[in-house]
Structure 1
Amino acid sequence: MNFAPSWNPQSALALQRREAMLARIQALRALEQRSADKSAEARPVFDKRGQLLPRERVGLLLDPGEPYLPLCSLAGYLQDTREAESSVPGGGMIAGIGFVRGVRCMVVASDSGIDAGAIQAMGLDKILRVQELALQNRLPFIHLVESAGANLMRYRVEGFVQGGALFRNLARLSAAGIPVITVQHGSGTAGGAYMPGLSDVVIMVRGRSRAFLAGPPLLKAATGEVATEEELGGAEMHSAVSGLGEYLAEDDRHALGIAREVVARTGGAQPRPKLESDPNKEDLLTLMPSNLREPVDMREVMVRLVDDGSLLEFKPLYGAATVCAQGSIAGHAVGFISNNGPIDVPGANKATHFIQWMCQLGQPIVYLQNTTGYMVGKESEQAGMIKHGSKMIQAVTNATVPQFTIQCGASFGAGNYGMCGRGYAPRFLFSWPSARTAVMGGEQAARTMQIVSEAALARKGVLPDAVQAKAQFDKIVNVFESQADAFYTSGLLLDDGVIDPRDTRAVLAFCLDTVAEAETKSVRPMQFGVARM
């Protein structure tokens, strides 16, 4: 059964929702710009040294005019400080998937305009995530390095220990036959020196690149030996003496040009289709309400994402609050699963059936999250909601096709799990600015705790204090609501980025292309990665 859209994007309600969504998008862009502006404050220093700013380096590396998918741009937001006005997102890293000489690559750059590129806590998590994506999708990993290493003023032992995974992943990428290419724009000290050390090819910049296990201050403190930075780890020394560098560049531009040539020689360029224009993308601004209690027909979202608006709904009359449908995005056949209400027993069974059907067909699954969770209540429990919901979670967990998740609206309770939330490792997961994620709604959580507290007091024969109860209620609501916000959860890397709803079709097409290309790409795994010689 093909779905015929009925939503009027010009209605008063639609226009109201559009304005609210645009306000959120504007706030998102302001946060992203805050990172760029903070980094650009270092321009006088970079100009004096004859260097390019980190974003300029990324821009010169990438093919002009080709698509680029930034990743985790809000990493660390509200984690370094709880003050929304001063928190700088990004995790001190720039990361995304783009094209270099026609080759789809994962590109990561130290944002050395901020704290000299020192690795931030969420910056570590960010680079680990994009390394995982590079490994899953067989993407050459290009690292533009200029980092002060760990911030010793904010030292935490767990960051040191967990940071070892960064270097482990470089070795895994190389061993999997995936090129690892480093441009050493500046310093790499201690653990940072292993970034070039575990790369297949290293490009160094004369007079700027440094790589040493111990810089002059630590060397003198540890052994009493006195040496210059150039003697210990300069670009010319590593290119001519130690052999750590394969190529010696004269400046940043020259280094990036060499990197582009190295990538071109990997032979990884592949033809790819162009995405057709999307005439319905503006409608996507009008669909999601600010108040997630208002109903939304998620089929209206689906039909605006697929090719030619052609959508085949699966079992439309059974478990109708759970929507399953088939369509195509940029020529890729996909299955959609979404929610027009809580997931009930028929809905869970339908989704389980549909996931297995997609696995049999070999078609990726796109989850459009908008769920308050699994149905609760006596009737639902007696109908076996736990076991039927568990079957759906089993199917999501063990699906044999790539899965993609877009968090559009509510993502509450176990519905987050059954709809392939972060814990279920979808290949890519993005959020709309309207998304909210929590174990339950704030008022629901506060009301639950109020009932429990009042029952405990009643057993003691004590009457509740109305003022204290109201303060406790408001506090719980505030905690849940502040943490449910899409910008906050993205700051924790619970998604791969917050996107403009109008970009959803393009983002999904890009990700589907990436996965399809990975499945056809020929790599030559080895027992070990390429060793430095």
Structure 2
Amino acid sequence: MSFQSSFNPHSEQAQQRREAMLARIAQLRALEDRAAQASAKSKPVFDKRGQLLPRERIGLLLDPGAPFLPLCSLAGFLQDCKDPEKSVPGGGVVAGIGFINGVRCMVVASDSGIEAGAIQPRGLEKILRVQAIALEQKLPFVHLVESAGANLTKYQVEGFVLGGALFRNLARLSAAGLPVITVQHGSGTAGGAYMPGLSDVVIMVRGRSRAFLAGPPLLMAATGEVATEEELGGAEMHTGVSGLGEYLAEDDREALGIARQVLGQLDWLSRAPTPAPPPLHEADDLLALMPPHHREPVDMREVLLRITDASDILEFKPLYGAATVCAQARIGGHAVGLISNNGPIDVAGANKATHFIQWMCQLGHPLIYLQNTTGYMVGKESEQAGMIKHGSKMIQAVTNATVPQITIQCGASFGAGNYGMCGRGYAPRFLFSWPNARTAVMGGEQAARTMRIVAEAGLARKGIAPDALQMQAQFDQIVHVFESQADAFYTSGLVLDDGVIDPRDTRAVLSFCLDTCAEAAARQPRPMQFGVARM
């Protein structure tokens, strides 16, 4: 018997939830616009130099009308700057998956309109993340470079040391048979010079491209030698003398046109999208389904009906471990297994999920996790029933699953439930959050209550009466810390997801990611023992 929707999108509760979700989406869009506007302030300078802004470059590079999936757009939010009204997200990098001359590619651009494209700490994490996605999904890596390099005013030695992985990943991509193509729009100094140095094809712009290990000031300070930027690392020198560049363009537009030609010659056309019947229920309902907090129950099967082809789902063991929802369906024509939560994960739910994950691996169907759980069930009865060992079996299954796994954090993601539902630490192919999502080891009030009990017990052992005002102040502080760090925008700023999405876009995002995974499975690059060396 199939599940029938009983959700009333016109109820007062639904309307309140809808307004709360729309407010969060408006905040998300404002933050994304903040980064674009901050970059656009440099437009007069770019116009004077005859250059395009980073987002204009991406717009010209990509196929008109083709889908583009932005990644990690909130990276860095509330990290360097703690003021939510002034913090500029993005990490100084624009990244996403799009189509260039019909080829699905990972596209990364220095946001050189902000701090001259200097790499920010979370921007480095963002680049490393999208490189990992490109490697796993067998995507060509297209890099639009114009960067002042590391921001020396915010220098941290760990950023320098760990930043080496950026160049290691370029070598790994090339060795895996995945083309690394760089358009050098501006400067690349010191470590930044290794971006074109570790690329398979480099396109440079006359009069604008620069790539050198030491610029004129550092060269003068280190050796006393005097040289111009063009002599050290200009586009004409590198395309005509050093051989670092393959193509010399007259301006940004021509450089991007050459990049499109290079991609078109790969003969890596993507498969045509599979026609799929839309859901029977409106995606707009997803705005009104989820409460702004995790205290109200939600039947996640209602979500499933609004993201699956023809709203046709086949529930797996619906009467056993009912708080854990497992179902088979299709999304964008792809057969998938879906796992979600209508409450904590109990012993039966953990066993059911383990069985289902292994069943999907046998079928070869990707797994979609829709997180909305306060974690694994606790209590005497649960412990005696073996919650630890059964929860561990589920985590084992998630860890060792042989099919692509994609996670959407729809609501609560607390405790080990984050692990068992394929959180970031379990390397899903993609992980996105809804604006209302909350991620924490536990709820703020629960954490504060636990700490109060522990503190009061400690004082009692010493024969000291607790100070009510002091205990309340500590309680409030703990709640604030937990709640502020659990917020989806904060965790996205830490690059703990691949971006925050509008719930209404969930089906489109999942379809795009499933297409990407299917294309990766079908693609057979020619791996080598080495990356393409520059000659």
Q: Matches of 1:274 and 1:359 in 2, distance apart?
A: 22
Structure 2 matches for 1:126-275, cutoff 5 A? Answer: 126-273=126-273
Q: Matches of 1:257 and 1:275 in 2, distance apart?
A: 31
Structure 2 matches for 1:470-489, cutoff 5 A? Answer: 470-489=472-491
Tell me by how many angstroms 1:442 deviates. Answer: 0.2
**Residue matched to 2:520:** 518
**Residue matched to 1:26:** 26
Question: For residue 173 of structure 2, what is the amino acid of its counterpart?
Answer: L
Q: Matches of 1:143 and 1:16 in 2, distance apart?
A: 43
Q: Deviations over 1:254-298 (max 9, x none)?
A: 000000000000111123216655662111111100121100000
**Residue matched to 2:417:** 415
Q: Matches of 2:275 and 2:463 in 1, distance apart?
A: 68
Task: Confirm or deny that 1:72 pairs with 2:76.
Answer: no
Aligned residue for 2:239, secondary structure, equals: helix
**Residue matched to 2:510:** 508
Q: Deviations over 1:34-71 (max 9, x none)?
A: 00000001111101100000000000000000000000
After superposing on structure 2, the runs of 4+ consecutive aligned residues of structure 1 that deviate more than 4 Å are 274-279
Q: Matches of 1:290 and 1:113 in 2, distance apart?
A: 35
Q: Deviations over 1:467-519 (max 9, x none)?
A: 10110000000000000000000000110000000000000000000000011
Whether the aligned pair in 1 keeps the contact of 2:170 and 2:180 (CA below 8 Å) is: yes
Q: Matches of 1:239 and 1:9 in 2, distance apart?
A: 61
Question: For residue 187 of structure 1, what is the amino acid of its counterpart?
Answer: S
Q: Matches of 1:182 and 1:267 in 2, distance apart?
A: 19
**Residue matched to 2:110:** 110
TM-score, with structure 2 as normaliser: 0.99
| Count of residue pairs brought into register by the alignment | 533
Task: Confirm or deny that 1:309 pairs with 2:307.
Answer: no
Tell me by how many angstroms 1:331 deviates. Answer: 0.8
Q: Matches of 2:531 and 2:7 in 1, distance apart?
A: 54
Whether the aligned pair in 2 keeps the contact of 1:275 and 1:509 (CA below 8 Å) is: no
Whether the aligned pair in 2 keeps the contact of 1:146 and 1:185 (CA below 8 Å) is: yes
Question: For residue 201 of structure 1, what is the amino acid of its counterpart?
Answer: V
**Residue matched to 1:83:** 83
**Residue matched to 2:43:** 43
Q: Matches of 2:410 and 2:472 in 1, distance apart?
A: 31
Whether the aligned pair in 2 keeps the contact of 1:96 and 1:108 (CA below 8 Å) is: yes
Aligned residue for 2:439, secondary structure, equals: strand
Q: Deviations over 1:323-354 (max 9, x none)?
A: 10000001100001110010000000000000
Question: For residue 252 of structure 1, what is the amino acid of its counterpart?
Answer: D
Q: Matches of 2:274 and 2:363 in 1, distance apart?
A: 25
Q: Matches of 2:290 and 2:13 in 1, distance apart?
A: 10
Q: Matches of 1:137 and 1:341 in 2, distance apart?
A: 33
Give structure 1 stretches of 5+ with no counterpart: none
Aligned residue for 2:2, secondary structure, equals: coil
Give structure 2 stretches of 5+ with no counterpart: none
Q: Deviations over 1:372-404 (max 9, x none)?
A: 000000010000000000000000000011000
Q: Deviations over 1:427-479 (max 9, x none)?
A: 00000001000000000000000000000000011110011011000000000
Q: Matches of 2:489 and 2:56 in 1, distance apart?
A: 26
**Residue matched to 1:330:** 332
Question: For residue 164 of structure 2, what is the amino acid of its counterpart?
Answer: G
Tell me by how many angstroms 1:3 deviates. Answer: 1.4
Aligned residue for 1:295, secondary structure, equals: coil
Question: For residue 35 of structure 1, what is the amino acid of its counterpart?
Answer: A
Q: Matches of 1:364 and 1:89 in 2, distance apart?
A: 31
**Residue matched to 2:385:** 383
Aligned residue for 2:359, secondary structure, equals: helix
Whether the aligned pair in 2 keeps the contact of 1:138 and 1:178 (CA below 8 Å) is: yes
How large is the Cα RMSD of the aligned pairs? 0.8
Tell me by how many angstroms 1:15 deviates. Answer: 1.1
**Residue matched to 1:435:** 437
**Residue matched to 1:4:** 4
Q: Matches of 1:43 and 1:33 in 2, distance apart?
A: 15
Task: Confirm or deny that 1:360 pairs with 2:362.
Answer: yes
**Residue matched to 2:296:** 294
TM-score, with structure 1 as normaliser: 0.99
Aligned residue for 1:401, secondary structure, equals: coil
Q: Deviations over 1:151-196 (max 9, x none)?
A: 1111111111101000000000000000000000000000000000
Whether the aligned pair in 2 keeps the contact of 1:275 and 1:506 (CA below 8 Å) is: no
Aligned residue for 2:14, secondary structure, equals: helix
Question: For residue 102 of structure 2, what is the amino acid of its counterpart?
Answer: G
Aligned residue for 2:307, secondary structure, equals: coil
Q: Matches of 2:473 and 2:519 in 1, distance apart?
A: 55
Which of 489, 492, 507 is the aligned partner of 1:490? 492
Q: Matches of 1:95 and 1:385 in 2, distance apart?
A: 41
**Residue matched to 1:120:** 120
Percent of residue pairs bearing the same amino acid type: 80
Q: Matches of 1:212 and 1:182 in 2, distance apart?
A: 15
**Residue matched to 1:447:** 449
Structure 2 matches for 1:89-108, cutoff 5 A? Answer: 89-108=89-108
